[in-house]
Homo-oligomer: A and B are copies of this chain.
Amino acid sequence: MFIYDNWYVAALTTEVNSEKPLARMIVGKPMVFFRTDEGQVAALEDRCMHRGMPLSAGPICNKGRSLQCPYHGLEFDITGACVKAPSQTSIPRNMQVLTYPVVERDSFVWVWTGDPEIADPATIPRTTLGEPDTFGTFNLAHIEYKADWKLIYDNVMDLTHLAYVHTVVNGDVQANVEAKLTISTDDDGKRVSFVRKLPDSIPADQYKMGFDFKGNCDRWQEIECSASGMLIWTGAMDVGCGALDGNAGAMETKRTGGFQLVSYHAITPSTEGNAHYFASGHVNVHLGNEEVFAKMREGQMTTLYEDRVILEPQQARLNETPGRPVVSLAADAAGLAVRRMFKKLLTAEMEKKAPPRPARSSGHQDLMVELTGGAR
């Protein structure tokens, strides 16, 4: 079950070029991404309308303006229209592949997977705090999880796991598991935010790499979560220096100095039980120091792999034990608020839509019945 009326990160901008198409499965839909010579990104259904061949297996042609099917040479442009059918002069009107609204922003290629009529780029969530001068980017990555997208949200929204799963960022175990949550849900029900404050706690190794603390630190963790992913702002300052200021929601308090880490965690379902994980990382320290940035990149990647080592067996076990319940803790409050948000969005979409056409066991049956018409 996926939320379709949503913007998802489909790729890092650096993954999409005019040399080679990028195939990617998003919410169960096979898509192919490429870039015209003028730099525009296109998102097409990765399936030739003629006989179902993945277009991503063919070359980009016509100055980046179209994809050529590797089977019979049909070409489709960025509007999905077939612009060449080599074996005939006219092109069937319905020889057209699906396209998806696509926007390039903030190092990511975003794709809208639902009703194109309501695709509004203004609803793409922010993925940074918008201060490019004072932050430097140390990481942009894509990895895949054999786990349901919702398990990844649970994971991030319950940061008490840091103390057990991650060493580089855990710092003060007890402070971490005990920090209290303040949760808020937006009026439109499409965004959940939370703030946690960890006063007078031992700095994590990653933090000490970034800032020379005098002793213990005041630490904050703020998350802004939508169905696209999570913007995470964490950091620490010397005790009493402003880290714990502010009572507003996540991302509302201005802070300067100390160690600050802003990252975006885009979670994009691929198929049922599998997800793409796109991560960015930005810090306010050591700007331009490639050596420190390499260590921070390694640190962030390590946390992603450490989480995957947990979530994949967790998913497998949940699959194996369908009748067994789960029990929540106070620390799950944020994750449960997020799941409530997802449930409402899913329910609203299901009510909006007509029942989908029943799945058939073999798409090839289509070829079996499609015996009249079409050919011209």
Contacts and interface: CB of A to CB of B under 8 A. Distances in A.
B367 A154 contact: yes
B47 A329 contact: no
A314 B53 contact: yes
A196 to B, nearest CB: 11
B364 A160 contact: no
A361 B28 CA distance: 17
A328 B318 CA distance: 41
Interface core residue of A95, A318, A319 (most chain B CB under 10 Å): A318
A150 B52 CA distance: 14
Q: Binding site of A, secondary structure by majority: helix, strand, loop or mixed?
A: loop
A284 to B, nearest CB: 29
A138 B175 CA distance: 54
Contact of A331 (B72, B321, B371): B72
A326 interface: yes
B165 A71 contact: yes
A54 B317 contact: yes
A267 B333 CA distance: 45
B164 A324 contact: no
A190 interface: no
A320 interface: yes
Contacts of A71: 161, 164-165, 310, 314
A151 interface: yes
Interface in A339-376: 339-340, 342-343, 356-357, 359-368, 370-371, 373-376
Contacts of A325: 49, 366, 370
Interface in A269-291: 272-273
B314 A52 contact: yes
Contact of A319 (B92, B330, B363): B363
A151 B272 CA distance: 27
A88 interface: yes
Given A72-B160, A151-B364, A318-B364, A88 B54 contact: no
Given A73-B163, A85-B329, A164-B71, A150 B368 contact: yes
A165 B68 CA distance: 12
Contacts of A57: 310, 313
Contact of A150 (B323, B342, B364): B364
A375 B330 contact: yes
Contacts of A313: 53-54, 57
A328 B374 contact: yes
A70 interface: yes
A163 B371 CA distance: 25
B52 A327 contact: no
B30 A326 contact: no
Contact of A322 (B70, B177, B178, B363): B363
B160 A367 contact: no
A126 interface: no
Contacts of A46: 317
B70 A310 contact: yes
A70 B314 CA distance: 11
A50 interface: yes
A53 B361 CA distance: 30
A317 B87 contact: no
Contact of A50 (B69, B328, B370, B374): B328
14 contacts: A51-B314, A52-B317, A54-B313, A54-B317, A57-B310, A72-B177, A87-B178, A148-B364, A322-B359, A323-B357, A324-B366, A328-B370, A328-B373, A328-B375
